[in-house]
Amino acid sequence: MIVAGVMSGTSADGINVALVRVASARRARTRGLLDFELLGHAEYPYPITVRKFILATMNSQRASVADLARLNFLLGELYADAILATQRRFRVKAELVGCHGQTIYHQGDAAAFLGRKLAVTWQTGEGAVIAARVGLPVVSDFRPADMAAGGKGAPLVPYLDFLLYRDPRIGRIVQNIGGIANLTAIPAGASSAQVIAFDTGPGNMVIDAVMERLFRKPYDRDGRVAASGTVLNRVVVDILRQPFFRLRPPKTAGREEFGREFAQKFMRRCGRAASRDVAATTTALTARSIAESVRRLVLKKQGSYREFIVSGGGARNPTLMTMLAVELRPLGLRMHSSDEFGLPSEAKEATAFALLAYETWNRRPSNMPSATGAKRPAVLGKISYA
């Protein structure tokens, strides 16, 4: 079956579409797991006004209900356009769509609300609109089922990481650096229950916010600004003392933790430092928080993991990658790009949602309780029929 996976992450940079051929594996060794092949991948930036609106909505204490309803339908249209354009470009017709949607709020931990304690999440982008425009069934809204089963609703991509990167002899850590950075650690010869996965903290989110604020740029292209500055070490050390970084997994983060407020506090801590030094420091914060997470929360003994595989937009920032490599070397980890393993770095998350949709279509669970903290496996998502 050919499935179109559609992802738009917390960076709100745009829409990624992956066309994936999926089948249930027949080989005895991998029975129960999926076989898949990426047929094509394309990326569509959101129009500037849409990105601005999404970012404002995610950060706001008050939003208009009418506008939220409109955004839901608008994104449905944009996702449908993106899928149709990708099908034309690769001359491939999908049979099913898996669409993550745009997260506008995520709170993985239960908190009191009107007399109940609730963990909640909201991904928007109307599945019924996509189904009608594209003429295909659509699986959307993946996270609530995991949360209803007691999980944090994230991360879900470890399902793909396990399929791709498990190895009988090599322990691997897979790091995605999107708006938020998250890792999946797969010990050598692990079963899916032994996988560790959690959000390590900010990925590009704070870097982007600093660039917007101090340079009027959406991001630090090729890490050039950060490369020209000097890291304020004391600020990084200070911030890494915050509770989130010390929490044990499972744990998730979003704009609620590392959004505009965090960025403002971060810039205040940098005091009168030159803008380029602030950019260098926020880049170091991402690198250091990843390395610290690996050291404190993953590595039990030196050498139990050998390979460190990076994906996501952050992998395109050479300054960040160099800082990270320097941090990882003493831990005995070698850095690789997801591209080296046959899946282009930027296509990974969209591919994951194609696989998750395929599982849902076949009524099979695809959350990973070891990663999300769910009490049980859950069939994820809701289906809209064309």
Ligand X SMILES: Nc1ncnc2c1ncn2[C@@H]1O[C@H](COP(=O)(O)OP(=O)(O)O)[C@@H](O)[C@H]1O
CB 357, min distance to ligand X, A: 18
Q: Is 11 in the site for ligand X (CB under 6 A)?
A: yes
Q: Is 204 in the site for ligand X (CB under 6 A)?
A: yes
Q: Is 316 in the site for ligand X (CB under 6 A)?
A: yes
Among 13, 126, 277, 327, binds Mg ion (CB under 5 A): 13
Q: Is 13 in the site for ligand X (CB under 6 A)?
A: yes
Among 37, 67, 95, 222, binds ligand X (CB under 6 A): 222
Q: Is 312 in the site for ligand X (CB under 6 A)?
A: yes
What is the C-alpha to C-alpha distance for residues 28 and 378, in angstroms, rounded to an integer?
Answer: 24
Contact 82, 15 (CB under 8 A): yes
Phi, psi of 20 (to 5 degrees): -130, 130
CB 202, min distance to ligand X, A: 11
Which region holds residue 23: left if phi is over 0, alpha if psi is between -120 and 50, else beta? Answer: beta
What is the C-alpha to C-alpha distance for residues 212 and 219, in angstroms, rounded to an integer?
Answer: 7
CB 221, min distance to ligand X, A: 5
Q: Which does 153 bind (CB under 5 to 8 A by kind): ligand X, Mg ion, none?
A: none
Asked whether the CA dihedral 173, 16, 147, 149 is positive or negative, the reply is negative
Find, among 201, 206, 200, the residue nearest to 226 by Cα.
Answer: 206
Contact 224, 320 (CB under 8 A): no
Of the candidate spans 9-17, 98-106, 114-122, 246-254, the one that interacts with ligand X by CB under 6 A turns out to be 9-17
Phi, psi of 175 (to 5 degrees): -120, 120
CB 281, min distance to ligand X, A: 16
Report the residue number, 87 or 103, with the smaller CB distance to ligand X: 103
Largest CA distance in the chain: 62
Q: Is 223 in the site for ligand X (CB under 6 A)?
A: yes
Q: Which does 151 bind (CB under 5 to 8 A by kind): ligand X, Mg ion, none?
A: none
What is the C-alpha to C-alpha distance for residues 6 and 42, in angstroms, rounded to an integer?
Answer: 10
Chain residues binding ligand X by CB under 6 A are: 9-11, 13, 178-179, 204, 207-208, 219-223, 312-314, 316-317, 349
